[in-house]
Chains A and B, each alone.
Chain A
């Protein structure tokens, strides 16, 4: 079936993108700034969409030029997910808000057991935001979208006054088609199940924080932002009876496990000694007084599967480039209190509780 890529349908200005409007001069994408006219629905907005968004995100398929994209009919159940992205700084080692917004929503759809098909993207731009930065961000989204094979088919642009947004906020929504025979849910964890993670924990959060706090790394820590639907496809094909798949983003592994514990009415026992954490991330956390269990990831999976499936699944994961450091980290246990507990390196036991408020770094 032909992949239905659409050009960016123009919002509300009544001008179809395949009729090239004549603009007095091209946008100055190198030195220009976003101004209020770019959000007003008039010619300036059409030009921004044509010369920046459509050029990067669209392709040679003709635009329908309507307020939304008409999708083909599908056999099967659809999944939809949405996410807002407000990361600061906008550019960080390993990525930017653009590719992050594409990867994040693709992953949210994929962990439901669905094949991601389409994305929409809405932008809230701050007056005065550099068009050069916006171009970089949209180009990055376009690349991420192309590499993942999931096109952006509809979108929106608004501009708010200077000071009312942090450069740009991006919201992406993803639509996917649920695979047959797959039942993934946070409520499916069962005592005795094995818990795995797909690789090193805390890379994304540390990369962003290091940027913010101006910490120098000998080996720079790079965000792990990545689209995981290919990896998930391989995993589900080999092990269709995986119980839970989640991507541990804000709040880290600890938050994800606590959420699942609540949903499934179970407890967890994980093993500190086997948690995969890069030594630079551990050191950075030590210096900032943070716990890697709570630091965000953007290209990792938490997987819960029946125990007898674990070693086979681990092999499949490690064979995939995005999960070479996958590891078994613990198991699901009976616990009416739904605590997440951890065996410490000392052999003692501690809880891994919900984050309370923001993770304020300890100085002492």
Chain B
């Protein structure tokens, strides 16, 4: 069971809860499984829980790699 998606944390609440935003849709989720999350971070969301913080730098690196692969000799 793998359906999960990255969403941006917009608010930290009491009791390990937070509000995330996915393109304007807001949802309350649990941060019980992660640590050191700040507003503005992206987390991978699964079944109402954040599983991991998204590494933005790595995300950009991966996309850059995809672009390079596509650009190299046709």
Contacts and interface: CB of A to CB of B under 8 A. Distances in A.
A287 B25 CA distance: 9
A287 B28 CA distance: 12
Contacts of B61: none
Interface stretch (A214-222, A244-252, A260-268): A214-222
B27 A218 contact: no
A363 B45 CA distance: 11
- Give chain A's interface secondary structure class: mixed
Given A363-B47, A364-B47, A217 B3 contact: no
B24 A217 contact: yes
A283 B3 contact: no
A282 interface: yes
Size bracket of the A interface = 10 to 19
Interface string A266-305: 0000000000000110111011010000000000000000
Contacts of A363: 1, 3, 47
Interface in B3-27: 3-5, 21-27
Given A363-B47, A364-B47, A217 B25 contact: yes
Size bracket of the B interface = 10 to 19
B1 A218 contact: no
Nearest to B48: A363
A45 B7 CA distance: 54
B27 to A, nearest CB: 6
Contacts of B26: 215-218
A364 B27 CA distance: 18
Contacts of B2: 364
B27 A279 contact: no
Contacts of B22: 283, 286-287
Contacts of B24: 217-219, 279-280, 283
A217 B22 CA distance: 9
A94 to B, nearest CB: 16
Contacts of A282: 23
A280 B4 CA distance: 17
Contacts of B3: 289, 362-364
Given A287-B22, A364-B47, A216 B27 contact: yes
Contacts of A362: 3
A90 to B, nearest CB: 23
A281 to B, nearest CB: 9
Interface string A194-232: 000000000000000000000111110000000000000
Interface of A: 215-219, 279-280, 282-284, 286-287, 289, 362-364
Interface of B: 1-5, 21-27, 46-47
